[in-house]
Amino acid sequence: MSSGTQSTTSTLPETIDRSKGTSRTGIYVAIAIVVIVVIILGTGYYGAGWFKTSSTTTKSTGCTLPAATSLSGAGSTLVAPLMIAWSLAYTASTVNYASVGSGAGISDITAKTVDYGASDAPLSPTQRAAIPSPGVATIPESAGAVVPIYNLPTVGATLKFTGQILAAIYLEDITNWNNTALQAVNPGVTLPNAAIVVVHRSDGSGTTFVFSSYLSSANATWKSTLGFGTTVNWPAGEVGSKGNSGVTTTVKSTADAIGYVDINYALTNSVSYGSVQNPAGNFVLANVSNIASAIKDANPTLPPGTGDWYNVSVQNAPGAHDYPIATLTYVFVYTDLGTAYGSSYTQGKAQNLVDFLAWIVNATQGQTYSEGLYYIPLASAVISADLVTIAGIHYNGAKLTACVPSIVG
């Protein structure tokens, strides 16, 4: 098209269309813009140290490890930062983790396309029934907590919430920040006269599972109308955002908003989060130690690895300073790897997988990566239960004894 018009304009250069000179100018301008952007970004990243290489030292292993193979896992986005830190650090095998969401992690392990699946919610009875023989073991590998985040620019103090109030806000019973119930638990705080913008997860999520099961335990109306699950039937007039990071971003950029995310998203994005009243009556602001103590004090009766974990809860722990909305996150692994995956799955690979699982739950190895990333190290009772489960993983009926490589320390 343009070549045709150019030939007509060449006879009458004072009107219409581009001439050759200006088209060159355009290209020069475009090149100049690209060069400037690249230089700015380049110096910025260089200054930020992105091009500096880091090195990790691997200590000699304590026992004989089989040749390294490649392991793959998929699932939870909540636990992804920790999983990625583990796969970068772990040297005895190559571990790839795809952060695709808990639901996808469960479908992937059901379809046997990965070596392990990760989810923040335990398997529901229906999901458990869908898993082919020989079935999977549930291994809690880390822990976290869900915190209420909010954006109130005029409020400097940390807000206090109760389970009742959080449920009422998400049920749209409390619609304004200066509500009397909210004011009653926050004496001395000047709450703005502003409508609450309620933000929840738009995708199905383990975080929603944890938060909605907590609200079910705190509020009878919630329990009977919305219940709990990876997604619930949110009332109209609320805002949905995708992923923990989506909720964080929406709350951060929207004044008068409230949301709920895993604590590491609140801390790494420095967004305000409130304290929550625990069963002992104290308002507790979540941190690594009071979540860890909550999981210890909740002391849930852990079923065997192959059992039903759907009702395992570490919420509402009785301790005076325990944070009430704590949760375990899980990996799922087939109990007999040879039978599950068939002959192409070597015993060496099965051994690699068992070693990796034993390494991540080890208190002086994998678990030491938790705190730097704001995850909660497992309580010793949970680790012992995990080790029993891992010892129960077989290869065509043969027992696999885990050999934990010593990478840390």
Partner 1 sequence: MTAANPFPSLPTHGTRKVSKWGDRIFVALTGIAAAGILALLVALVAVLYNGSKSSIQVLGFTFLYTTVWNPVGNVYGVVPFLVGTLLTSSVSLLISIPLSLGAAIFLTQQAPAWLRDPVGQLIELLAAIPSIVYGFWGLIVLVPIMRLTIEPALKLYLGWTGLFVGTPIGLDYLTASVVLAVMTIPTITAISRDSIAAVPRSQKEAALSLGATDWEVTRNAVLPYARSGIIAGIVLGLGRALGETMAVLLVIGNSPYLPKSLISQGATISTVIANDFFENAGPFELSALIEAGLILLVVTLVINIGARVILARFQLGRGGMAE
Find the binder of partner 1 among 142, 213, 249, 352 (CB under 8 A): 249
Count of residues making up the chain: 409
Q: For residues 265 and 201, give the distance between their C-alpha atoms in angstroms, rounded to a whole number.
A: 14
H runs (alpha helix) in 203-360: 206-218, 220-225, 243-253, 263-268, 288-298, 337-341, 347-360
Q: For residues 269 and 263, give the distance between their C-alpha atoms in angstroms, rounded to a whole number.
A: 10
Residue 38 or 320 with smaller CB distance to partner 1: 38
- Tell me the window of 55-63, 98-106, 143-151, 372-380 that interacts with partner 1 (CB under 8 A): 98-106
Phi, psi of 111 (to 5 degrees): -85, 0
Binding mask 369-398 for partner 1 (x = CB under 8 A): ------------------------------
Q: For residues 8 and 94, give the distance between their C-alpha atoms in angstroms, rounded to a whole number.
A: 64
Residue bearing tokens 């898993």:
131
Contact 287/322 with Cβ under 8 angstroms? no
Establish if 103 lies at the interface with partner 1 (CB under 8 A).
yes
Supply the minimum distance, in Å, between the C-beta of residue 2 and partner 1.
7
Supply the minimum distance, in Å, between the C-beta of residue 240 and partner 1.
3
Q: For residues 30 and 303, give the distance between their C-alpha atoms in angstroms, rounded to a whole number.
A: 64
Supply the minimum distance, in Å, between the C-beta of residue 205 and partner 1.
6
- Tell me the window of 60-68, 135-143, 253-261, 284-292 that interacts with partner 1 (CB under 8 A): 253-261
Find the binder of partner 1 among 80, 155, 239, 408 (CB under 8 A): 239
Supply the minimum distance, in Å, between the C-beta of residue 197 and partner 1.
5
Find the binder of partner 1 among 44, 62, 132, 227 (CB under 8 A): 227
Q: For residues 196 and 239, give the distance between their C-alpha atoms in angstroms, rounded to a whole number.
A: 11
Q: What angle do CA 290, 293, 298 make, to 5 degrees?
A: 120
The DSSP secondary structure of 40-77, one letter per residue, reads HHHHHHHHTTTT-------PPPSSPPPPP-EEEEEE-S
Parallel/antiparallel/unpaired status of strands 70-75 and 116-119: parallel
Residue 240 or 392 with smaller CB distance to partner 1: 240
DSSP 66: P
By CB under 8 A, what part of segment 28-87 binds partner 1? Answer: 29-30
CA atoms within 13 A on the CB side of 72: 11
Residue 222 or 359 with smaller CB distance to partner 1: 222
By CB under 8 A, what part of segment 109-148 binds partner 1? Answer: 126
DSSP 60: P
Establish if 26 lies at the interface with partner 1 (CB under 8 A).
yes
Establish if 178 lies at the interface with partner 1 (CB under 8 A).
no
Q: For residues 35 and 30, give the distance between their C-alpha atoms in angstroms, rounded to a whole number.
A: 9
Establish if 210 lies at the interface with partner 1 (CB under 8 A).
no
Residue 48 or 236 with smaller CB distance to partner 1: 236
By CB under 8 A, name the binding residues for partner 1: 1-2, 4-5, 8, 12, 15-19, 22-23, 25-27, 29-30, 100-104, 126, 195, 197, 202-205, 226-227, 229-234, 236-242, 246, 249-250, 253-255
